[in-house]
Amino acid sequence: MKWWQKTIVYELYPKSFKDTKGQGTGTIRGIIEKLDYLASLGVGAVWMTPVCRSPMVDNGYDIADYCSVDPSYGTMDDMKELIDEAKKRNIRIVIDLVFNHSSDQNEWFLESKKSKDNPKSDWYIWRDAKEDGSAPTNWRGIFGGSAWTWCEERGQYYLHTFASAQPDLNWANPEVRKALYDAANFWVDLGAGGFRIDAITYVKKPDVFVDGTPDGDDGMVSVHDMTANQPGILDYLHEFKREVSEGHDIFTVAEANGVKADELKYWVGKDGAFDMLFEFSHINLEFKGIETWCRPDPWKISDLKKALRDSQNATKDNGWYPAFFENHDKPRCVNHYFDENADKKMAAKAMGTLLMTLRGTPFLYQGQELGLENVAWPSIDCYNDISSFGQYEFALSEGFTAEQALACVHEFSRDSARTPMQWDDTPNAGFTCGTPWLPVHEDYREVNVMKQEQDETSVLSWFRTLAKLRAEYPVLAEGSYEEILADHEQIIAYIRKNEEDELCVLINLSNETAAYDPSLCEGKEVILNNAETYEKGSLAPLQCVILR
Ligand code: GLC
């Protein structure tokens, strides 16, 4: 097994982690300061969302220079020190490659937009207007509004899957691909332990661009439906593998919204392009097609179980699964998967147990280890996230009231995952001595690292216990996965097994007591339990146990 299959990855949102300059945004020195904290969680790799120079229209997912560090985060020397200091603690730093698009302030785009005969003319996706001057197609960008923006200087439109400040790179041009691979190799040479590759499903564009049937009252159709996962995309991605990742002791995990479990074999594993792939079926349970916050569908625990079953099965013999229930784009899991009445501390522990005991590498997201919850700010103006604005406007255009549109934002806003890390109960939760760029969650005096470190029953202590358990029982990393009680409507349960050991994980995902066949418990000892009692054949609401 490779090192990254046995470890825990921590996803870190640098802007909100730890500020050492009083500027209200996190710094790389802040991360260095907290490396021992990360080590205490058993973390062997830290994936940082992008820290390259950026105008921060999308908090770093709009890169102006791929081989740089944004001055707000620090310097390249800070970055080197981080990589070295992390290495001393057996932690590797994972870089986020945003390769589908750059910032519109990237030198490449500034050149490309100058004229049609500029040497970089063809580095982005340019098209003429329709005869009436309107955009080349009716595609809606993922953050809302048209996916095309008019450029006066060049007299053409450019395509952007996301915000207009994030023009899509033209991967059909080999020079572009080479420039991107060179950038990735710059980070390999600097000592990166791996890459998370952003929004990869969009890099191959369709051969012809045509209007689609509108899916909303705005007359537009989601750009995702028109462009994601085009035939031939895997050729590019295999080239990336050959040019960048192959031959290095690093891992790659690609963000691939829309890739189904049964397609995983082409994407990951020995013959796949990446080591792991984030697919979203278990996290987008309420969105059957595109992610439209105002149109969620109801879902059941059995849907979650099915999504997890499919991805576990798909990576059983080939590839490797990156387990995650939170990231910087998703609501907090205790709110997302459970209703208001659920005991959030129990829920955080149950989800933590699921995360750390599925077969695969757990990706723990900043603040999840404290059981942080969503924010619900009183007005859309309190929010910062560009996609929240787009979703809010879309809901209004679909006839929702302002109050209803805001309720959708409360439920799904990416800002909930981006509020500053809660270190202690001092002002701004010890995140900054300046004004935080995003308000700290109002519960920080009760919920913070300092307090939870002193409490054996806290969510943080639970995560540390889980990390120790993974170290103590290698079967959790190495063992096979076999689901049991597959038809149970409340409990997800499975056996992790290798030649030496066998563990049985039982998690009641519902807020009601759940019964199961008590013979499952015969001859087994309880090695983990988030409730005070243990009764064979019955789990309290949100109770989880591991039996050996
Ligand atoms: C990915 C990132 C998200 C970003 C988008 C555009 O989905 O996770 O945060 O906004 O790509 O780069």
Distance 221 CA to ligand 1 centre (A): 19
- Average pLDDT on 428-447 reads 98
Distances (CA, A) of 80 to 84, 250, 277, 329: 6, 17, 27, 27
| Ligand 1 pocket residue status of 98, Cβ below 6 Å | yes
Question: Whole-angstrom Cα distance, residue 261 to residue 281?
Answer: 8
- Average pLDDT on 259-284 reads 88
| Ligand 1 pocket residue status of 19, Cβ below 6 Å | no
| Atom number of ligand 1 nearest to Cα 62 | 12
pLDDT tier at 264, thresholds 50, 70, 90? confident
Are the beta carbons of 314 and 265 closer than 8 angstroms?
yes
Active site residue 255: yes
Give 99's contacts (C-beta < 8 A, 6+ positions apart): 169, 180, 197, 198, 200, 203
| Ligand 1 pocket residue status of 198, Cβ below 6 Å | yes
- Average pLDDT on 480-486 reads 98
- 3-state secondary structure at position 267: helix
Q: Is the pLDDT of residue 271 over 90?
A: no
- The active-site residue, picked from 255, 291, 326, 329, is 255
- If we measure between CA atoms, which residue out of 92, 126, 543, 128 comes closest to residue 354? 543
pLDDT tier at 378, thresholds 50, 70, 90? very high
What does the pLDDT read at residue 288? 82
- Average pLDDT on 76-92 reads 98
Q: What angle do CA 433, 331, 415 make, to 5 degrees?
A: 40
What does the pLDDT read at residue 216? 87
What does the pLDDT read at residue 261? 67
| Ligand 1 pocket residue status of 97, Cβ below 6 Å | no
Question: Whole-angstrom Cα distance, residue 430 to residue 424?
Answer: 6
What does the pLDDT read at residue 545? 98
Which two structure tokens, joined as six digits, stand for 196?
Answer: 């998370």
Which two structure tokens, joined as six digits, stand for 486?
Answer: 């597959």
| Atom number of ligand 1 nearest to Cα 414 | 9
Question: Whole-angstrom Cα distance, residue 250 to residue 244?
Answer: 10
What does the pLDDT read at residue 201? 95
- If we measure between CA atoms, which residue out of 339, 370, 376 comes closest to residue 446? 370
| Ligand 1 pocket residue status of 58, Cβ below 6 Å | yes
What are the φ and ψ backbone dihedral angles of 460, each rounded to 5 degrees? Answer: -60, -45
pLDDT tier at 420, thresholds 50, 70, 90? very high
pLDDT tier at 384, thresholds 50, 70, 90? very high
What does the pLDDT read at residue 265? 79
Q: Is the pLDDT of residue 451 over 70?
A: yes
Give tens-digit pLDDT for 156-166. 999 999 999 99
Pocket test for ligand 1, best of 51, 61, 327 (most atoms within 8 A of CB): 61
Task: Name the residue type at position 203.
Answer: V
- Which residue ranges form the domains of the chain, and what is each CATH number? 478-547 (2.60.40.1180)
- Average pLDDT on 227-245 reads 95
Active site residue 198: yes
User: pTM above 0.85?
Assistant: yes
* Cα pseudo-dihedral 110, 113, 119, 121, rounded to 10: 140
| Ligand 1 pocket residue status of 61, Cβ below 6 Å | yes
What does the pLDDT read at residue 263? 77
Are the beta carbons of 274 and 253 closer than 8 angstroms?
yes
- If we measure between CA atoms, which residue out of 449, 445, 505, 441 comes closest to residue 473? 505
Q: At what angle do helices 386-397 and 402-412 cross, to 10 degrees?
A: 140
Q: Is the pLDDT of residue 356 over 70?
A: yes
The torsion region of residue 68 among left (phi > 0), alpha (psi -120 to 50) and beta comes to: beta
What does the pLDDT read at residue 257? 81
| Ligand 1 pocket residue status of 199, Cβ below 6 Å | yes
Pocket test for ligand 1, best of 198, 387, 412 (most atoms within 8 A of CB): 198
Distance 452 CA to ligand 1 centre (A): 31
- Average pLDDT on 82-108 reads 98
| Ligand 1 pocket residue status of 163, Cβ below 6 Å | no
Residue minimizing CA distance to atom 12 of ligand 1: 61
**Average pLDDT over all residues of the chain:** 97
What does the pLDDT read at residue 289? 74
Q: Is the pLDDT of residue 258 over 80?
A: no
Distance 61 CA to ligand 1 centre (A): 6
- The active-site residue, picked from 19, 96, 198, 275, is 198
Question: Whole-angstrom Cα distance, residue 29 to residue 25?
Answer: 12
| Ligand 1 pocket residue status of 329, Cβ below 6 Å | yes
As a whole-number percent, the residues of the chain with pLDDT over 70 amount to 100
pLDDT tier at 260, thresholds 50, 70, 90? confident
Are the beta carbons of 33 and 85 closer than 8 angstroms?
no
Question: Whole-angstrom Cα distance, residue 212 to residue 205?
Answer: 15
What does the pLDDT read at residue 266? 85
Pocket test for ligand 1, best of 58, 224, 280 (most atoms within 8 A of CB): 58
Helix (H) or strand (E) holding 401, with range, is none
pLDDT tier at 259, thresholds 50, 70, 90? confident
- Average pLDDT on 335-361 reads 97
Pocket test for ligand 1, best of 162, 202, 203, 280 (most atoms within 8 A of CB): 162
Count of C-beta atoms within a 10 Å radius of residue 147: 31
CA atoms within 13 A on the CB side of 475: 19
Distance 141 CA to ligand 1 centre (A): 12
| Ligand 1 pocket residue status of 200, Cβ below 6 Å | no
Q: Is the pLDDT of residue 94 over 70?
A: yes
Question: Whole-angstrom Cα distance, residue 240 to residue 228?
Answer: 18
Are the beta carbons of 458 and 452 closer than 8 angstroms?
yes
The DSSP code sequence of 469-532 is HHHH-THHHHSEEEEESTT-SSEEEEEEE-SS-EEEEEEE-SSS-EE--GGGGTT--EEEESSS
Distance 164 CA to ligand 1 centre (A): 14
- Average pLDDT on 240-261 reads 91
Residue minimizing CA distance to atom 4 of ligand 1: 61
